[in-house]
Amino acid sequence: MMTKTVDVHDPQLQLDELLSMVEQGVEVILTDGDTPLARLVPMNLVAGERVAGLNPGAIWTSDDFDDPLPDEFWAGTL
Pick from 18, 25, 19, 20: which is nearest to 44 by CA? 25
Region 29-53 average pLDDT: 85
pTM to 2 decimal places: 0.52
Is there a contact between 27 and 39 (Cβ–Cβ < 8 Å)? yes
Mark out the alpha helices in the chain (DSSP H runs): 15-23, 71-75
pLDDT at 57 over 80: yes
Domain ranges of the chain: 1-42
Architecture of the domain defined by 1-42: 3-Layer(aba) Sandwich (3.40)
Region 49-63 average pLDDT: 86
pLDDT, residue 45, reads 61
